[in-house]
Amino acid sequence: MKAQLYPFHAYMVHAVRYAMDTAKQLESFQNLATEGQLDIRVGEYKDEQTSESVYLRSGYPRTSVSCKGWLESRLEQEYIYEHIRYVNLSEGNYEGINLSYTWFEVVKLTGSNLRGGLLLGTGFERCECDGVDFSGSRLFDADFRGCKLEQARFDGVIGSRDVLNEKHGMYFGIHGVRYQGANLTNASFRYARIAGDFTHAVLDGVDFTGADLTGSRMLERDVFLVPLTPAQRESVEWVEE
pLDDT single digits (tens) 167-182: 655 667 788 999 999 9
**In sequence order, what are the residues at sequence separation of 6 or more whose Cβ sits closer than 8 angstroms to the Cβ of residue 206?**
184, 185, 186, 187, 188, 189, 226
CB 159 within 8 Å of CB 178: no
pTM for the model stands at 0.85
**How many helical (H) and strand (E) elements, i.e. helices and strands, does the chain have?**
4, 13
Lowest mean pLDDT among 3-17, 172-186, 208-222, 224-238: 3-17
Report the SS3 class of residue 123.
strand
Residue 14 falls within a domain, yes or no?
no
Q: What is the pLDDT of residue 167?
A: 65
Confidence at residue 21, expressed as pLDDT on a 0 to 100 scale: 82
Residue range 74-97: average pLDDT? Answer: 93
Give the chain's domain count: 1
- Mean pLDDT for all residues in the chain: 90
Q: Is residue 143 part of a domain?
A: yes
In the predicted model, is pLDDT for residue 135 greater than 80? yes
Q: How confident is the model at residue 166 (pLDDT cuts 50, 70, 90)?
A: low
CB 161 within 8 A of CB 194: no
Rounded CA separation 173/175 (Å): 5
pLDDT of residue 62: 85
Are 157 and 189 contacting, i.e. CB atoms less than 8 angstroms apart? yes
Q: Taking Cα atoms as reference points, which of 209, 207, 235, 204 lies closest to residue 221?
A: 204
In the chain, where do the E strands start and end? 38-42, 52-57, 83-85, 103-105, 123-125, 158-159, 163-165, 170-172, 177-178, 193-194, 196-197, 217-219, 237-239
What does the pLDDT average to over 6-11?
78
Least confident of 51-60, 124-133, 145-154, 192-201: 51-60
Tell me whether residue 37 is in a domain. Answer: no
Q: What is the pLDDT of residue 1?
A: 75
Q: What is the mean pLDDT of residues 70-83?
A: 90
pLDDT over 70 (residue 43): yes
Which alpha helices (DSSP H) does 31-152 contain, by range?
Answer: 64-72
Answer yes or no: is 210 within a domain. Answer: yes
The pLDDT tens digits for 101-112 are: 999 999 999 999
| pLDDT at residue 3 in the model | 75
User: What percent of the chain has a predicted confidence (pLDDT) above 70?
Assistant: 95
CA torsion angle 160 108 87 123 (round to 10): -20
What confidence category does residue 98 fall into, taking pLDDT thresholds of 50, 70 and 90? very high
Residue-wise pLDDT for 175-220, tens only, equals 899 999 999 999 999 999 999 999 999 999 999 999 999 999 999 9
Which pLDDT score is estimated for 221? 92
What is the domain extent for residue 214?
Answer: 61-239
In the three-class reduction of DSSP (H, G, I as helix; E, B as strand; rest coil), residue 93 is classed as strand
